Chains A and B, each alone.
Chain A
Amino acid sequence: MRKKVLHTVLYIALTVFAILTLAPVAFLLINSFKSQSEIVASPMSLPLNWDFDYILTASQEINFFRSLGITFIVTVLSVALIVLASSLAGWAVARAKTKTSSVMLYMFTAAMLIPFQAVMYPLLSLFEGVGLKNILGLIIMYGGFGLSLSIFLYHGFVKSIPPSIEEAALIDGAGMIKTFFTVVFPLMKSTTATVIILNSMWIWNDYLLPFLVIGNASSRTLTLELYFAKMTSGQFGNPWELIFPAVFVSIIPIIIVFLLLQKHIVRGVSDGAVKG
């Protein structure tokens, strides 16, 4: 009996929290169908009519499909780069038990403490100097920023598996690279999933780096389009009838991906934390 009461109370509390959590999203949804004056006058009520014009206008304004494509490319390629570079390095560092390897591990891990602001301006000058202030450069930068945590995770995983399997392959005469891709990498797939998830989540939503690297060039990421849509609209300081639907369409893809892959994502987050 007591347990039943407790559970009822818990369900009520959880539901209240869930409503509070979803409220801003629901709020975003209903205001994506309203005009400026309707938003300001009655932000909490349902729209008078479900007018898709605002969403269409906003989608055009932020070049939805193009910017979505660019964000997608940047995220996927950056993550691929991170996975490749850090799985190799994590493996090598874990297996070679030398002074150099422990120095390398310390260095990679300590870099987690460097705030972006400390490297921001020189990084841009450097990449500008070598002609990489573009999407390719952006991908490389993400590759670098994603390394620390990812190498740390791979290293932790490799340490937990015995080297016997790969050593067998090596003794059989397979080269180091071949051994890695045929034997080691497939073993690492749970860590790889974690690395992919953790990095995609921040790269997809990142705003400052694309702003500094791509700026107002024609190929902008989704967050960048959102920023410029707000900044270049002259008439109203806050054109909510544009901002709400623009934010709304920009979060739809990520929510769909999340709902499809949520089991993996949740596991990725907890694995990343437990091993980290």
Chain B
Amino acid sequence: MDKYYRKWLLPISLPALILFFAVIVIPFVTGVLYSFTSWRGTYFAGGANAFESFVGFENYVNAFKNEKFLNAFVYTIKFTITAVIAINIVSLALAMMITTVSRGGAIYRTVFFLPNLLGGLALGFIWQFIFQNVFSDVLFGPQGLIHIPALTNMLQDNTKALFALVILVTWQMAGYMMIIYITGLNTIPRDLYEAAQIDGAGALAQFRVITLPMLMPAITIVFFLTLANCFKLLDQNIALTDGNFNTRLLATQILRTTRDTAPPDYGMAQAQAVVFFVLIAVVTLVQLYVTKRREVELH
């Protein structure tokens, strides 16, 4: 039987392989190649093809000398850390509340999941107005409901804009992650808590000793998803600040690099994209390794 499967492995995987090579592998390899050339998007400078305009590591050196790229690098890391923490806390809190209440959980779950259905672009338009007009004037402005200067004009300041973006993505992603946490919480046997209560453990101790360890698989997944999504965030960044005030995230930076010079430096944009790939790969693999190990230790 095994022989039979082996014989059919390639023919049956053929549609997937063709798609995969056409859409991912070939462009990715080409992209890595182009990152070593002075590619201009519509043509190659200094030659008729990629090989004739080979420039070695120049694009990479330039990328790491590029102030905007370095800023975007740091800003992306700051944003991702803040957003991952915020999303995890909110989604876990929502999940625990919903699993604790006896009735109506389904309705709340539906409501919290709703923002996930809306595209980043549409959301960005609405939130831009909310931050610029509603927050800055109606709610928290000098003549507003309560004057909170930190919540006004959030899109005109590097640090405030980071939190504006965190608010937006938390609003958007928390519902999705909440679903995963609910599934995780439902797998924890009730009697564990009952036993702990008999032993006299408080709510906090129960959370630390039972909930957290038992939830580790879900935490791994949520961390993985939030990390990946926040690292690659683009639409919302463009819609809110369009990268002004040094608020470019890496994805935006790569997209906008071609606007920074004339002729547009697609070669350097491609080099930045390769660095971006390495960064994502390293961070996610390390994260998976660490959380998986914790899962094992806790079990």
Contacts and interface: CB of A to CB of B under 8 A. Distances in A.
A118 interface: yes
A94 B259 CA distance: 46
Interface stretch (B116-124, B188-196, B204-212, B290-298): B116-124
Interface residues of A, number: 94
Contacts of A180: 12
Q: Is the interface of B mostly helix, strand, loop or mixed?
A: helix
A68 interface: no
Contact of A85 (B15, B104, B115): B15
A145 interface: yes
A173 interface: no
Nearest to B105: A14
Nearest to B18: A85
Interface string A159-182: 000010001001000001100100
B180 A273 contact: yes
B130 A114 contact: no
Contact of A167 (B1, B110, B182): B1
A237 B273 CA distance: 31
B129 A115 contact: no
A52 interface: no
Interface in B159-178: 171, 175-176
Contacts of A125: 30
A111 interface: yes
Contacts of A176: 4, 8, 11-12
Interface stretch (B20-28, B59-67, B81-89): B20-28
A276 interface: yes
A270 B181 CA distance: 9
B221 A276 contact: yes
A27 B133 CA distance: 12
Interface centre among B4, B22, B27, B108 (most CB of A within 10 A): B27
Interface in A177-234: 177, 180, 201, 204-208, 223, 226-227, 230
Interface stretch (B93-101, B146-154, B240-248): B93-101
Contact of B16 (A151, A258, A259, A269): A151
Given A113-B281, A121-B270, A247 B101 contact: no
B41 interface: yes
Given A223-B122, A266-B179, 11 more contacts: A24-B171, A28-B126, A111-B24, A120-B273, A121-B269, A123-B27, A207-B121, A227-B121, A270-B182, A273-B218, A273-B225
Q: Which 6 A-B pairs have the closest CB atoms?
A: A144-B23, A205-B119, A89-B16, A122-B30, A123-B27, A270-B183
